[in-house]
Amino acid sequence: MIFILFYMSVSKRMYLTCTINAKMCNLKSILMKKILTLFSALALTGALFAGGLVTNTNQSALYTRLQNRNASTDIDAVYYNPAGLTKLGDGFHFSLNNQTIGQTRDIITTYSILNGTPKDYKGTVSAPIYPDVYAVFNKGKLSFSFGFCPVGGGGGATYKQGLPSLEMPIADLKSILTSMGLNTTEYSADLYFKGSSVYFGYQVNVAYEINDIWSIAAGVRLVTAKNTYKGSIENIMINPIYAGNPTGANMIPAPTFFTAIGQPTYAAKTSDRYADAEMTGKGFAPIISVNITPSEKLNFSIKYEFKTPLELKTTVNDNKSAGMFIQDSTAIADMPALLAVGINFRPINKLLLSGSFNYYFDKAVDYDGQSDVENVLIDKNFVEGGLGIEYGLTEKLRASAGWVATFTGVNDEYNSDMEYSTNTNSFGAGFGYRVTPKIDINLGGSYTFYKDGSEDYTSDIGLQANNVYKKKTWIIGVGVDLNF
């Protein structure tokens, strides 16, 4: 075999052994660190769709078509404005919604020694079922309500080509071995990662109408979190050729090469790696809200959600994860407190104008996953705001459109090819149709534009490169509201 050329003499073998020992000692730790960082990023970042860094706010088909529901007095106020539920009137009210959501991510890197530069890594996120269920019972001045929705996550992400930071340490083998006097020109590896994240919220509220103007509400939300991870780095191949050999070399397994030159430790470091694990946890958050209706045409709302403390516990599902996951280890994945303000203005019966503003207290959350590490990832808190409009085309048919913009507060320490946050603009539109006085149907769609992110970095072997991050999200929502 061609790798015999590398140890035809004792001096050459000693040279290779010593040089490899000096320059390859961190290969395993680099690969493991990158994979762990990826898993940690996905574990700590629950939000794949509308909302803050880890919070989903797209919680009804009405939201999909209007984009602004903070001052809602319809049944989706169970989530957006619990105090406003007293406006629904006596009786039982029920709502069932589903959103079908897709997201694509592109990471374009200029790292020069990758196979093909610039190289585009594509990730896809899919959530065909994203349910929201609400139930309300009103009697006199009191309102009792229950809501179920994915307050974070809600989809599965697949990276069939891996990510730059996973492939880079393997590509670095070319540079490292070439610096030893080897004409190493190629490498290959099979990289794969699939992760899913969903934070289900179970919320109960009690609202009380003080008078025609003021209503108040208090509630609590139980959040159950589950993140799953499956991934692998397999079949790392190289073509190590001694500089004086004119015949070239075929691709051979990297572990085979290192075993042949008497380096079993490094053979293990380039061997196949797998991950199959999940992290789960639960936490509670109190919620308070106030609804103010100074006139029939105007409605204001204020809601405050306290921080949801979450600690995720790890379960390893196989015996091949090689230390990437530690059984029963824990990581902090708190959801930040949220201040939400809304306004609805109806100048005429057919026309509704809505505005919303959300402020996420991200700086008070340990996004690094550990309470004893200072949070250096966030410079300022995440904010979002928007406007929506609805117009009654007929007595039964209503058309709406809306826009919402987000402004992230993360810094360069947060952004990487594993997770990044940029400013966005979302646009939604759709229709509502009143089938009968007791049945409403809502249909909407939305599209989110993300500002491109960019990162300049230096690799572990000193090479300069740039990553460009692109993302887009689309949503189709449908809902049925029933009033008895």
Non-local CB neighbours of 321 within 8 Å, separated by 6+ positions: 274, 275, 276, 277
| Backbone CA torsion sign across 26, 32, 33, 35 | positive
pLDDT at 321 over 90: no
392 vs 333 pLDDT, higher one: 392
pLDDT at 32 over 50: no
**Does the bond joining 347 to the residue before it have cis omega, within 30 degrees of 0?**
no
Separation between Cα atoms, residue 393 and residue 317, nearest integer Å? 55
Q: What is the pLDDT of residues 226-280, one digit of tens each?
A: 988 888 888 999 888 765 564 456 888 989 987 887 778 778 878 888 888 899 9
Q: According to the model, what pLDDT value does residue 350 have?
A: 96
Separation between Cα atoms, residue 278 and residue 317, nearest integer Å? 8
73-82, 274-283, 336-345: segment of lowest average pLDDT: 274-283
pLDDT above 90: percentage of residues in the chain: 51
Distances (CA, A) of 205 to 49, 137, 221, 285: 25, 11, 9, 12
**Average pLDDT for residues 307-320, to the nearest whole number?**
86
Domain boundaries, the chain: 2-483
Q: According to the model, what pLDDT value does residue 375 have?
A: 66
Separation between Cα atoms, residue 307 and residue 285, nearest integer Å? 6
Confidence grade of residue 367 (pLDDT, cut at 50, 70, 90): confident
Question: What angle (nearest 5°) sits at the alpha carbon of residue 328, between those of residues 361 and 374?
Answer: 35
Residue 52's Cα: distance from chain center in Å? 10
**Average pLDDT for residues 314-342, to the nearest whole number?**
83
**Average pLDDT for residues 199-222, to the nearest whole number?**
97
8 vs 268 pLDDT, higher one: 268
Q: Which of 363, 389, 12 has the alpha carbon at shortest distance from 182? A: 12
Q: According to the model, what pLDDT value does residue 6 have?
A: 27
Contact, 40 vs 404, CB < 8 A? Answer: no
Q: What is the pLDDT of residues 110-157, one digit of tens each?
A: 998 888 888 898 888 888 999 999 999 999 999 999 999 999 877 677
Q: According to the model, what pLDDT value does residue 21 have?
A: 41
Confidence grade of residue 421 (pLDDT, cut at 50, 70, 90): confident
Q: Whose structure tokens read 């989530």? A: 79
**Average pLDDT for residues 451-476, to the nearest whole number?**
89
Q: According to the model, what pLDDT value does residue 153 have?
A: 78
- The mean pLDDT of the chain is 84
32-41, 216-225, 304-313, 400-409: segment of lowest average pLDDT: 32-41
**Average pLDDT for residues 18-27, to the nearest whole number?**
41
Alpha carbons within 13 A on the beta-carbon side of 375:
18
CATH fold label, 2-483: Porin (2.40.160)
Q: According to the model, what pLDDT value does residue 371 have?
A: 59
Separation between Cα atoms, residue 193 and residue 166, nearest integer Å? 10
pLDDT at 15 over 60: no
Q: According to the model, what pLDDT value does residue 36 have?
A: 46
20 vs 465 pLDDT, higher one: 465
Non-local CB neighbours of 431 within 8 Å, separated by 6+ positions: 65, 397, 398, 399, 400, 442, 443, 444
